[in-house]
Amino acid sequence: MPDLSYSDDALNVRNAFFGAKTIIYVEGDDDVLFWHEVFSQVADEHFEVEPVGGAPTLDDYIRKISSGQLIAIAARDADFLRILGTCSQDPRIVYTRGYSVENSLYVTESVTKLARAWCKTSDISASVCQSWIEEFAKCIAPLVHLDVANTISASGLATIGDNCSRFMTSLNSAALCPQKIDEAVSGIISKIPGSAISSANAEVGDTTENILVYLRGHFLASAIHRFIVKQAKLLGRKVSISAESLYAASIALFSASLMGSHPHSTHYLETAKTAWQAV
């Protein structure tokens, strides 16, 4: 992990040390493979991807890149920065299409293939996966709106979190519980300014795509994990899936679909190509 306390000159020669055209700085270890796959599609020279230890540190790198002190690329989770209007306009700064990398790793096509692979059957249809995703998005939408409103208003409330467990119908369920979500909404909504809620509702909307774009990525990943395990159980199978293995499998599927069918491919290929050409 590079240290920002290095001099700017030292940081600017790191690419030469690696024999690379440039270094692409990312938040953490989980982001390295994702962004490596993206830039591999547009790069015509060697590059390195390095994690810096989190978004705050990466934001320091972004400021240095934008000011001209550092010649490099930064790839960051978008979080809610687009809604806040605080994304960097520097072409060498690229962002995820959704809240984080997970929002691009888990789309209908990949979820279908992941479920089939772990369940060892082709009988799980894309329509089954799409129906579950649509119902999931519909149920969680009120909390996504409040999560965004909480950020807009800087209210500092606990809203969704990074794990879906507390909102499911039971310990091992893959279905959200509307009552639990309603209770959570009731405990939050009065603490957030109405203007922020209206802005969030307008920005996010209520389509499945938009809800899943703005849903926190780790929350989404935890729900996908449950869905796959549930599908296996319905088929009489018992599967054990670690977070690491699910991530590795989803990265492979993301890479395979990036040049073709992935719904976010245009975003990644165009922004990565622009960044590559700018360094």
Confidence of residue 7 (pLDDT cuts 50, 70, 90): low
The per-residue pLDDT for 142 is 98
Give CA–CA dist 58/38, Å, rounded.
Answer: 18
Would the pLDDT of 1 be above 70?
Answer: no
Q: Any idea which residue has 């800087």 for tokens?
A: 154
pTM score: 0.93
The per-residue pLDDT for 118 is 96
The per-residue pLDDT for 14 is 73
Residues 6+ apart with CB under 8 A from 182: 142
The per-residue pLDDT for 3 is 55
Burial class (CB in 10 A: 0-12, 13-18, 19+), 76: buried
Kindly provide the b/e burial profile for residues 21-39, where b requires at least 16 CB atoms within 10 angstroms of the residue's own CB.
bbbbbbbbebbbbbbbbbb
Give CA–CA dist 90/83, Å, rounded.
Answer: 17
Would the pLDDT of 58 be above 70?
Answer: yes
Give CA–CA dist 119/72, Å, rounded.
Answer: 42
Would the pLDDT of 149 be above 60?
Answer: yes
C-beta of residue 49 within 8 angstroms of C-beta of residue 9 = no
Residue type, 23: I
Tokens of 56: 């705050």
**Bridge partners, 93 (sequence order):** 74
C-beta of residue 195 within 8 angstroms of C-beta of residue 155 = no
Give CA–CA dist 142/48, Å, rounded.
Answer: 40
